[in-house]
Amino acid sequence: MNYIKRFLCICAVLAVVSACKNDAKDTNAETMETKADTVAPKVKKIPTEAEKAQTKSVMSKVMVTPELKTFASFLVSAGMTDILMKEQGPYTVLAPTTAAFDAMEKAKRESFLNPKNKEALVAMLKMHIVEGNHDSVSLVQNIKTNGGSYVLTTISGATLKVTKKGSDIVVTGINGEKGIVGKSDIKANNGVVHTLDTVFLAD
């Protein structure tokens, strides 16, 4: 009789344990289902027309041109990216190459990195931005039409003289410094970029 009672007790305990395990499995399954339901699917962002346009802007062209890395960095530091990225323009950018900046006096070049000299940095950068879409063909035509030289006005109001020497397009700054256009006609949806081997200073 005692054996029978013990056997029945053991069976009862096993039944309870088994039921608990099943409940736990059910609970875990429900929890996993709940988590799966609450995880929102990732929605791929569709770029707006304005964002698409910015990827083809003058600023974007400057940023993806390897030899203009320093110039691009200075534009960012000066807070001038929106002008060349978001505005319709058109703008012609005579962008000094990194080699042109490296050729500058070290103290002058490094002064542009100082946040206290932001005003001077902006002034220097504006010396290289001209309103209008002046590709190399139109520049050469205007040089011929105007007796051998053509004047461009920067967005700061300064004037640059453009001439031709052999096959080169030469740009002269307000201080007499001369730069030769290198890679030309990097076209954007709001202007054009030409690389320049000289940095024009505003003073």
pLDDT tens profile 87-144: 889 999 999 999 999 999 999 999 999 999 999 999 999 999 999 999 999 999 999 9
Q: Average pLDDT for residues 185-198, to the nearest whole number?
A: 97
CB contact set of 192 (below 8 Å; sequence gap of 6+): 58, 90, 92, 93, 133, 134, 135, 185, 186
Output the CA–CA distances (angstroms, integers) from residue 61 to 77, 78, 183, in the order listed. Answer: 17, 18, 12
- Given pLDDT bands bounded at 50, 70 and 90, which one contains residue 9? very low
| Confidence (pTM) | 0.76
Q: Are 80 and 125 in contact (CB under 8 A)?
A: yes
The secondary element (H helix, E strand) that includes residue 198 is: none
